[in-house]
Structures are given as C-alpha cells and as structure tokens.
Amino acid sequence: MELTKREKRKLRLDKIRHQSQEAQKEHEQNLEHQTNLQQQQKQGKSKYKYYTIAGVIGVVILAAVAYSAYSINKPGPYDNFAKCLNEKGAVMYGAMDWCKYTHAQKAMFGKSFKYINYHEHQDLNGIKKTPTWVINGAWHENVKSLAELAALTGCKI
C-alpha cells in the first residue's frame, strides 16, 4: 500500500519536527554544559583569588612582625649618653602619671630612657617642680636639654 502525498508530507514534517526537537535538546544540553564549565572556572578563580589574598595578608603580617622585632632590638639613639648619665650618678625625679614636662624629658631620650636612673618625685622630700635632676648633689629643676645635661655631667651626647 502506497502512501498518499498528504501522508508523505505529514511524515516528512513529523521527521523534521522530531529532528528540530532533538537539535533543540542538544543545543540546550550544550548551553547547560557551557554554563557548568563557566561556573567551575569561576569557582576555580575565586579559590585562586582567596589564596592570593590570604598569601598577601600573610606576607604583610610577617613583614610587620619582622619590622617590630627589628625595632625592639635596635638600640636607642642616646643609649651611651643615658648610660653615662647613670654612671655619673645623675637621677631624674618626675611624675609620669600626670606631668607633661616629665613626659617631655622622657621623650627626649626615646628608647634610651630605660637607662636613666628615674624615680617618682615622692621618693625625695623637697621636690617642688618636675622633672628635677639631681647631679653631684645639686638640684636642677625643669626640663633640661641634652646639651645642658652633657655640660652638667661631662657626658658626650
């Protein structure tokens, strides 16, 4: 039995529709596959960014710690001068809790202040002004420049 033209045409259209549907499905699968690949690539890139940022932060922290360790161990600029003042018997009396002048005197020495023989003003009766330096039994009130201290003690700055 032979098919009519109408039936042949219908079969051809069905076949074309079927092929078109398969092509559309295949295209959608390809798009989905490409989307999945792009998402995986983005995830890989975001992991890379995370590790890069974490690495940079780690290097910055390590550099800060190394610099801090270097700064702490670095000698102060007036270490020898402060040690000499101490050896000559110079004593500084002040009020670290509230006196801005005592703080100013301390700031002149910077890290080297740790070598200064320092006492609170209550430790010596009669102190009226802070800071007061006692050098060779003589009292020297108010903030003294490093040059004045050098002249009073014979220490070199």
Is the pLDDT at 44 greater than 80, yes or no? no
Q: Are residues 4 and 36 in the same domain?
A: yes
Q: Are residues 62 and 111 in the same domain?
A: no
Distance CA 99, CA 1 (A): 120
Do 130 and 101 contact (CB within 8 A), yes or no?
yes
Q: Are residues 39 and 91 in the same domain?
A: no
Q: Are residues 61 and 21 in the same domain?
A: yes
pLDDT, position 52:
87
Tokens of 129: 């002004």
Where among 44, 74, 104 does a domain terminate? 74
Tokens of 48: 């890379």
Q: Are residues 66 and 105 in the same domain?
A: no
pLDDT, position 48:
78
Q: Which residues contact 155 (CB under 8 A, 6 or more apart)?
A: 81, 84, 85, 88, 149
The DSSP bridge partners found for residue 135 are 138
Q: Are residues 85 and 125 in the same domain?
A: yes
Q: What is the CATH number of the domain that holds 123?
A: 3.40.30.10
pLDDT, position 42:
75
Q: Are residues 100 and 36 in the same domain?
A: no
Mean pLDDT of the chain: 92
pLDDT, position 39:
82
pLDDT, position 5:
87
Domain span including residue 124: 79-153
Q: Are residues 65 and 15 in the same domain?
A: yes
Q: Are residues 115 and 96 in the same domain?
A: yes
Q: Which of 101, 92, 100 is closest to 127 using CA atoms?
A: 92
Number of domains in the chain: 2
Where among 74, 98, 120 does a domain terminate? 74
Q: Are residues 7 and 63 in the same domain?
A: yes
Q: What is the pLDDT of residues 21-33, one digit of tens each?
A: 998 999 999 999 9
Where among 52, 74, 96 does a domain terminate? 74
The better pLDDT of the pair 74, 129 is held by 129
Q: Are residues 1 and 70 in the same domain?
A: yes
